[in-house]
């Protein structure tokens, strides 16, 4: 999974280099940062999720929700939340690691909601709503920050390990006028092992 982290860093560095070259004449630099590990892990869908059609995708069904059942971020109205469980299965190189941290990259997904930057922007016909993530303590997370979902790696004694990441997702009003319709979104994530 560190390969994903490294590729995101390269894309970000390339984007920063392009911005910098607009202000500078003919020079600049790319700064590459990354870490290579021996750990090999797969992330699969558990309860509340299903495999997507493309590798690495995990589908979460948010259900058919009425605007009257959801509230603003501060209201912490979570009755319609969809629980999500991801299963981490490391087949080798895990002996030196104790935890897995899942961090989210909303800006590279459907983006942060324009009216409430703590939420994921939705795509589709619906207006007035964003998607909020719930941490393992069932509290809304601020997607514009650095919050992570963390879990211990359970060693199997043969260099492998497993972990369960339990969290949730819920529709949250963003303050705009509401309009019914599809409210989809996508949220890239990176797994860090420590």
Say if residue 121's pLDDT is above 90. Answer: yes
What is the predicted pLDDT for the residue at 65?
Answer: 95
What is the predicted pLDDT for the residue at 23?
Answer: 52
Contact (CB, 8 A) for 153 and 90: yes
Average pLDDT taken over every residue of the chain: 86
pLDDT tens figures, 49-91: 999 998 889 999 999 999 999 999 999 899 999 999 999 999 9
Residue 123 CB partners (closer than 8 Å, separation 6+): 110, 182, 183, 184, 185
Tell me the CATH class for 40-193.
mainly beta
Q: Is the pLDDT higher at 16 or at 28?
A: 28
Average pLDDT over residues 28-53: 85
What is the predicted pLDDT for the residue at 25?
Answer: 57
pTM (predicted TM-score) = 0.80
Chain region(s) in the chain for CATH 2.60.40.1090:
40-193
How confident is residue 5, by pLDDT bands cut at 50, 70 and 90?
very low
End-to-end alpha carbon distance in the chain? 12
How confident is residue 116, by pLDDT bands cut at 50, 70 and 90?
very high
What is the predicted pLDDT for the residue at 56?
Answer: 86
């Amino acid at each position: 999974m560190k390969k994903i982290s490294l590729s995101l860093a390269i894309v970000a560095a390339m984007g920063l280099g392009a911005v910098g070259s607009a202000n500078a004449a003919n020079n600049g630099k790319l700064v590459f940062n990354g870490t290579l590990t021996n750990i090999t892990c797969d992330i699969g869908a558990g309860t509340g999720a299903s495999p997507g059609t493309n590798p690495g995708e995990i589908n979460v069904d948010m259900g058919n929700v009425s605007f009257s059942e959801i509230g603003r971020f501060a209201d912490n109205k979570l009755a319609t939340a969809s629980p999500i469980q991801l299963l981490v299965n490391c087949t080798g190189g895990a002996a030196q690691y104790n935890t897995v941290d899942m961090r989210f990259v909303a800006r590279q997904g459907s983006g942060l909601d324009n009216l409430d930057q703590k939420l994921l922007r939705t795509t589709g016909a619906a207006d007035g709503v964003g998607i909020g993530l719930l941490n393992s303590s069932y509290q809304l997370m601020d997607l514009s920050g650095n919050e992570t979902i963390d879990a211990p790696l359970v060693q199997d004694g043969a260099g492998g390990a497993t972990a369960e990441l339990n969290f949730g997702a819920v529709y949250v009003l963003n303050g705009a006028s509401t309009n019914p319709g599809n409210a989809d979104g996508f949220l890239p994530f990176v797994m860090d092992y420590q």
